[in-house]
Amino acid sequence: MSFRKLPVLLAAALLLVTVSVGIARAQGTVTDFTVQKTGGGSTSLSAYSGQKAVVVVFMSPACAYTRLYQERLAALNSAYSGRGVQFMFVNVPINLDAADSGGGGSLATFSDEGAASAALGVSKTTEAVVLQPSGAGFTVRYRGAIDDNPQVASGVQQRYLQQVLDNVLAGRPAGVADKRAAGCLIKR
């Protein structure tokens, strides 16, 4: 082998490793976690292993982004709940001092002090994770923004979460692995 080909081979290997790490980050496996029900009691992710997909959305009523997404999330929940998709709206503490620490508006919510968000690699509200049941737990199919316009619903051009759910339900690849979400930082 000539030494001229060595930089090309090294560059190709580096590219392959970079792509593999990105895919592994987006396509990881989650075994289980437990969140508290807002009205009392708890539930675990494994309770939803019979669903076609589970969407975990991290939110905080103190975060303006959560309030902006309320109607869109309620519409998605309504549209997909009858199709084998379970939504889990999880309230998490954020890095803001706010008087409003109540529930998630009209959405039924769970609470979490960081275990679920850490298990799923989420750092912001309002960020969504699409999980699909697999043999040993759940496979992460998508992590990130709900759509491309958190501020103005009528200005949305890319509906990432909807696209992923449609693809997963049709048995196709997710289409997009992750999109950076805009939102409030989750308190660790």
Domain assignment present for 140? yes
Residue 38's SS3 state is coil
The CATH number of the domain where 174 resides is what? Answer: 3.40.30.10
Of the pLDDT bands very low, low, confident and very high (cuts 50, 70, 90), residue 159 is: very high
> Tell me, what's the pLDDT at 105?
55
Asked if the peptide bond before residue 126 counts as cis, ω within 30 degrees of 0, the response is yes
For residue 40, pLDDT over 60 is answered with yes
Using alpha carbons, select from 132, 162, 133, 120 the residue that is nearest to residue 145. 162
Domain membership of residue 149 as a residue range: 27-185
For the chain, how many structural domains are there in total? 1
Residues 47 and 138: their CA atoms lie apart, in Å, by 11
95's CB contacts (< 8 A; 6+ apart) are 184, 185, 186, 187
Domain assignment present for 8? no
Residues 116 and 57: their CA atoms lie apart, in Å, by 10
Mean of the pLDDT values across residues 167-175? Answer: 93
For residue 1, pLDDT over 70 is answered with no
Of the pLDDT bands very low, low, confident and very high (cuts 50, 70, 90), residue 15 is: very low
Mean of the pLDDT values across residues 109-127? Answer: 87
Domain assignment present for 64? yes
Measured CA angle at 73 (ends 70, 75), to 5 deg: 110
Domain assignment present for 40? yes
